[in-house]
A = this chain, B = another copy of it.
Amino acid sequence: MNTIFETKLLVVDDEPGIINLLKTVLNQAGFAQVISAENCRMARELFASEKPHGVILDVMLPDGDGFSLMQELRQHSNVPMLFLSARDEDENRLLGLGLGADDYITKPFLPRELVLRLSGILRRVYQPLQTQPLPDECLVLGAVTVNFKSGIVKSGDGEKTLTAKEHALLKKLWENQGNIVTADSLCRSAWDDDLYGYENTLMVHIRRLREKIEADPSQPQYLLTIRGMGYKLAKETKQ
């Protein structure tokens, strides 16, 4: 996921160290704004005035406990809330989750894990299930796949990018997959003028294409030469 939400998060904890750690970690991860409260009273006020998109709260607070606070906030809002606590007894976790917490993380915690868990929850809450983009249609040739939209050829040993000519030629072949395409036809789809001297130029480009899509360019499995006729992109053999 490349896109995230620029969220305003309320952190409720009375340890300045934790507050600072969270601010650093969340800012680094791209969560823009972190506001903090060190007790229940401040948390209530900030929650009402700032309307944060999520809350992270400690279970033990100087003027009350996090459980009651969560219960109270939950009555007014359905935003993601998660507990951060040094107490990892079973009953506490069950109580916290039972009150509607989205997670219950025990201290000490891995900063990266907190970020992953939090962004997972935020994604679920703010990015509905339907909006997933459809994957691009790809050409699959054994162990390599070609994405024409991105121009990327993926294989076991990395990614390569197609050049303009390679892209045009392979696309033409793909559109006629399984059928023979004459050299002349290929040339007309990759070059706009009727320049001669093609014969060899085309071969060089075919060779370069083979270097990107074939395991062994000298023993082509997919981009085949049909002597005296042209080239053919073989269809995938069923399993």
Contacts and interface: CB of A to CB of B under 8 A. Distances in A.
Interface in A18-34: 28, 30, 32
A137 interface: yes
A154 B32 contact: yes
Interface string A154-194: 10000001011101000000100111100000000000000
A149 B124 contact: no
B138 A30 contact: yes
Interface in A96-154: 97-98, 100-103, 110, 112-113, 116-117, 120-121, 124-126, 128-129, 131-141, 143, 145, 147, 149-151, 154
Q: Which of A53, A97, A131, A139 has the largest count of B CB atoms less than 10 A from its CB?
A: A97
Interface string A1-31: 1111111100000000000000000001010
B97 A226 contact: no
A137 B232 contact: no
A205 B77 CA distance: 39
Interface residues of A, number: 74
A153 to B, nearest CB: 12
A214 to B, nearest CB: 15
Which 9 A-B pairs give the minimum distances between C-beta atoms?
A164-B228, A97-B116, A5-B135, A149-B179, A124-B124, A30-B145, A6-B136, A2-B236, A7-B135
Interface of A: 1-8, 28, 30, 32, 51, 53, 75, 77-80, 90, 93-94, 97-98, 100-103, 110, 112-113, 116-117, 120-121, 124-126, 128-129, 131-141, 143, 145, 147, 149-151, 154, 161, 163-165, 167, 174, 177-180, 226-229, 232, 235-236
